[in-house]
Structure 1
Amino acid sequence: MTARKAWRAISTVAVFLASTTAAFANDVVILNGRVIDPETGLDAIRNVGVEDGRISAISEFPLEGDTVIDATGHVVSPGFIDLHAHGQSIGDARMQAMQGVTTQLELESGVLPIGEWYEDQAAKNLPINYGAAAGWTFGRIATFDNTDPLATVAFFQDAQAENDWKMEIADQDQSTRILDLVEQGLREGGLGIGINAGYAPGYGQKEYFALAELANEYGVATYTHVRYASVTEPQSSFEAIKELIANAAITGAHMHICHINSSSLADIEATLSLVEEAQARGINITVEAYPYGAASTVVGAAMFTGPGWRDRMQSTAENFQLGDDRMTEEELEDYQANEPGTFITWHFLDESKPDDLALLDMSITHPATMIASDATFWSYFDEDGTIQTYTGDEWPLPDNVFAHPRSAGAYAKILRSYVRERGLLSMSEAIRKMSLMPAQTLEDFVPQMRRKGRLQVGMDADIVVFDPETIADRATYENANQTAVGVQTVLVNGGFVVRDGSLILDAPHGQPIRREIIE
């Protein structure tokens, strides 16, 4: 026997033994589903085995395991990865899980201090994976207030009443402290630098450039909500995205553009062309969008102030929604003066109008665009009529909480509207945008992500099983507190989070996604 024939024989026996072992050694087996792996292109009826939190087998042949799931007529996909999720409490994570999200990360705004935030998250026993970037705005607020940052929503909301950190250029000492705070966040394992520039557009050119240099030094990405959102010049969306691309080109940093749809407004074709040109030249730019014509933000955001903001933003008070109702000019003035940290829904496109819907579709279907929800916090009115953030663990969520519908339905809406109903995306392309692309955005500097966003042997068992004929978002602007439907099973690190379409309340399977801590 030649050496080559001997090697083939040994390989055949090894494959047989591995298959035989997998057939009898699984914790969970998913049978007869349409298995889609966006990296290898697999799209076929297969059986999937899960053992010790990893995918142990993908086979055309029968598998056996302790728990068997019949996925006949269902799609078996890598769990969806949300790079842009602000709500990070257990209720937020459960709503995400019900639509197939297995990892949610707070990258755009980020937080500080990072170490404290990860400790707090670990104590929540979250059902899905979590992580955060080092938050530049948190460093800026703390610096201008001469205090220490707090890794809380209230820290950011309370600062909305102040304008110095939003509109003033930092002096040398302030710049040094801001960068030191962000760098400490990176040393504590932050997943890059969150640059929520739309909330502090007066930061100047040098500070943003220094952040890009810092990201390149640490080999991480920045995640930017660009400083301007405007269809008119100067200070246009086009200018802001061109600034980001220039910084990436000069420093070599990987720079990610958050929600290019809401940042670009009606100018999305021009800004996407900028992204195409940059990527064609090898500039490391990535981009995301969410499938809604409305954003969620604070009513006192800098972009809604100053002369001419209504023309720049193509908006009036009627574009702002608080709870179930659109705001009046009197209400808008009152909230901006007295409760500027209040979260509102801002309608920047009208999906009922074909021309507006076409602009939204352009951002979603572009090959370079991945999906990220920008999921917002669940809120409620307290007895005094003040809006509070809900952080409890009731399930279902209390009837009185509200949010943007993307907090409960962004991924299900892609599969319902863009895949099933309108055929604008293939099933495999939609799954690529929601799983593999986000994983690839981080994997060069976050090794854990190399095992996510794929359905392959050895990958983490973050898996969603859903019915392509019934999966749907039910959340609306009037009532966002409605879970998605059509998801049969969600596994996170091999543990059940959703089973037979129902959430499992005691499912502490989420793990931290974090870079190595630098002492």
Structure 2
Amino acid sequence: MTNSLPRFGASGDPAISRRRFLIAGGITVAGLAVVAINPFDSGDSNYFSPTLSGAGPFPDPTKHTFDVVIKSGRVMDPETGFDEIADVGIDGATITGISAPSSGESSLRGRSIIDARGLVVAPGFIDILSYAPNPYGIWFKVADGVTTNLGLHGIQSRAADFFSTYGSSAQRPPTHYGGAFSNPWTRSQLGLGVDDASSTKQIDALVATCDEDLRKGYVAVDFEPEYTPGVRYDEIKALAEVAKNHNVPATFHARYSDDMSPGTNAEALAEVLQIAQETKAQVHVEHIISTGGTFTMAQSL
């Protein structure tokens, strides 16, 4: 098969034509390899990546003993289409070699061996529509191959508090994690009920809070107008502009979840798309089968 992963031939030289590649990745506590690939001009004399501090040339697998080798798993990389039974060599926190002995390449040696026969070794899955990690459910995600849990359904706390809580040794989850600014929760902190429209002063307060939380590490702005029917277009637009300024998406549990007037799926999607058009923010419709596409998926798409 044709692929672009840096693999080792019998001589130890990377079996790559025209371009050289560096694999740079990490091993999570879930035991999954995360692979990133950077192409280099064929005239380069080594495999050094200018974007990765301290990255060096690939070791010769006939002479090198890796810190860890994940052995004989089905190694899959969706980006390149690589899909073979192979060994993955890791030094420190970096993947430094992949070799497929069944294709005549060198078997990798390691100080520690993880037997992955019958298992898939792949970049970890990212759950983008989740909530804050909890000590029970997060382990089911790990079992499913999830290595990043993103609460883009909105986190019911300020960003500083969220990262302080889950950054502590007592609460730190076994995955990467992140969250979104929650418009419904923040409205409630200003004393707004679900049916209440916000004043200009309250919109200014929402914008300031959102801006600070994105600066503190939140990665999206969450809206749920079906659950907060009082939220008006001007409030959503003001916060979507903050999302655009921070280059993060605006995520929507849209305003309507059926195709019966008043309030149809088409109207729900029209509001989201108008926000995207006017603010140039990226938008993501959460579970379109539930809002914006219920019973009308083909037409909505």
Using structure 2 for the length normalisation, give the TM-score.
Answer: 0.74
Partner of 2:300 in structure 1?
271
Partner of 1:54 in structure 2?
94
Please say if residues 111 and 132 of structure 1, whose CA atoms lie closer than 8 Å, have aligned partners that are also in contact: no
Does the C-alpha gap of structure 1 residues 125 and 217 become closer, same or farther in structure 2, counting only changes over 3 Å? closer
Please say if residues 194 and 230 of structure 2, whose CA atoms lie closer than 8 Å, have aligned partners that are also in contact: yes
Please say if residues 47 and 59 of structure 1, whose CA atoms lie closer than 8 Å, have aligned partners that are also in contact: yes
Distance 2:75 2:68 in 1: 15
Please say if residues 90 and 127 of structure 1, whose CA atoms lie closer than 8 Å, have aligned partners that are also in contact: no
After superposition, the CA RMSD in angstroms is: 2.3
Query: Does 2:290 correspond to 1:262?
Result: yes
Distance 1:189 1:77 in 2: 27
Partner of 1:225 in structure 2?
253
Query: Does 2:159 correspond to 1:114?
Result: yes
2:67 partner amino acid: D
Please say if residues 131 and 179 of structure 2, whose CA atoms lie closer than 8 Å, have aligned partners that are also in contact: no
Secondary structure (helix, strand or coil) at the match of 2:259 reads coil
Does the C-alpha gap of structure 1 residues 22 and 115 become closer, same or farther in structure 2, counting only changes over 3 Å? farther
What is the CA distance between 1:196 and its match in structure 2?
A: 2.5
| Aligned pairs for 1:94-173 within 5 A | 94-123=139-168, 124-143=171-190, 145=191, 165-173=193-201
Please say if residues 24 and 64 of structure 1, whose CA atoms lie closer than 8 Å, have aligned partners that are also in contact: yes
- Structure with bigger strand share is 2
Secondary structure (helix, strand or coil) at the match of 2:193 reads helix
Distance 2:230 2:44 in 1: 68
Does the C-alpha gap of structure 1 residues 116 and 20 become closer, same or farther in structure 2, counting only changes over 3 Å? same
Please say if residues 110 and 193 of structure 1, whose CA atoms lie closer than 8 Å, have aligned partners that are also in contact: no
Partner of 1:38 in structure 2?
78
| Aligned pairs for 1:229-308 within 5 A | 229-263=257-291, 264-272=293-301
Does the C-alpha gap of structure 1 residues 77 and 23 become closer, same or farther in structure 2, counting only changes over 3 Å? farther
Partner of 2:205 in structure 1?
177
Does the C-alpha gap of structure 1 residues 67 and 110 become closer, same or farther in structure 2, counting only changes over 3 Å? same
What is the CA distance between 1:208 and its match in structure 2?
A: 1.1
What is the CA distance between 1:255 and its match in structure 2?
A: 0.9
Distance 1:91 1:262 in 2: 26
What is the CA distance between 1:21 and its match in structure 2?
A: 5.7
Query: Does 2:148 correspond to 1:75?
Result: no
What is the CA distance between 1:110 and its match in structure 2?
A: 2.7
Distance 2:92 2:143 in 1: 23
Distance 2:62 2:290 in 1: 47
Secondary structure (helix, strand or coil) at the match of 1:102 reads strand
Unpaired stretches in structure 2, ≥5 consecutive residues: 1-41, 48-56, 101-105
Distance 2:129 2:300 in 1: 20
Residue-by-residue CA offset, 1:421-445 (whole Å, 9 max, x unaligned): xxxxxxxxxxxxxxxxxxxxxxxxx
Partner of 2:35 in structure 1?
none
| Aligned pairs for 1:425-436 within 5 A | none
1:42 partner amino acid: F
Show structure 1 runs of 4+ deviating over 4 A.
7-12
Please say if residues 80 and 100 of structure 1, whose CA atoms lie closer than 8 Å, have aligned partners that are also in contact: yes
Range with bigger deviation, 62-71 or 252-261: 62-71
Please say if residues 109 and 196 of structure 1, whose CA atoms lie closer than 8 Å, have aligned partners that are also in contact: no
Distance 1:22 1:197 in 2: 60
Distance 2:179 2:62 in 1: 36
Distance 2:278 2:44 in 1: 54
Partner of 2:26 in structure 1?
none
1:103 partner amino acid: T
2:194 partner amino acid: K
Please say if residues 231 and 267 of structure 1, whose CA atoms lie closer than 8 Å, have aligned partners that are also in contact: yes
What is the CA distance between 1:8 and its match in structure 2?
A: 6.8
Higher relative contact order (CA 8 A, sep 6+): 1
Does the C-alpha gap of structure 1 residues 9 and 200 become closer, same or farther in structure 2, counting only changes over 3 Å? closer
What is the CA distance between 1:10 and its match in structure 2?
A: 5.0
Please say if residues 169 and 204 of structure 1, whose CA atoms lie closer than 8 Å, have aligned partners that are also in contact: yes
Distance 1:250 1:172 in 2: 19
Partner of 2:29 in structure 1?
none
1:135 partner amino acid: S
Distance 2:277 2:92 in 1: 43
Query: Does 2:238 correspond to 1:210?
Result: yes
Secondary structure (helix, strand or coil) at the match of 2:58 reads helix
Distance 1:51 1:134 in 2: 37
Range with bigger deviation, 97-106 or 65-74: 65-74
Q: Percent identity?
A: 30
Distance 1:214 1:22 in 2: 53
1:234 partner amino acid: P
Please say if residues 23 and 62 of structure 1, whose CA atoms lie closer than 8 Å, have aligned partners that are also in contact: no
What is the CA distance between 1:135 and its match in structure 2?
A: 1.5
Does the C-alpha gap of structure 1 residues 196 and 69 become closer, same or farther in structure 2, counting only changes over 3 Å? same
Please say if residues 25 and 51 of structure 1, whose CA atoms lie closer than 8 Å, have aligned partners that are also in contact: no
Secondary structure (helix, strand or coil) at the match of 1:28 reads strand
Does the C-alpha gap of structure 1 residues 87 and 219 become closer, same or farther in structure 2, counting only changes over 3 Å? closer
Residue-by-residue CA offset, 1:175-234 (whole Å, 9 max, x unaligned): 111222212211212112122333112211111111211111222111111121112133
Secondary structure (helix, strand or coil) at the match of 1:247 reads helix
Partner of 2:137 in structure 1?
92
Using structure 1 for the length normalisation, give the TM-score.
Answer: 0.44
Distance 1:43 1:134 in 2: 38
Distance 2:62 2:184 in 1: 49
Please say if residues 22 and 56 of structure 1, whose CA atoms lie closer than 8 Å, have aligned partners that are also in contact: no
| Aligned pairs for 1:381-400 within 5 A | none
1:63 partner amino acid: L
Does the C-alpha gap of structure 1 residues 122 and 23 become closer, same or farther in structure 2, counting only changes over 3 Å? farther
Does the C-alpha gap of structure 1 residues 171 and 10 become closer, same or farther in structure 2, counting only changes over 3 Å? closer
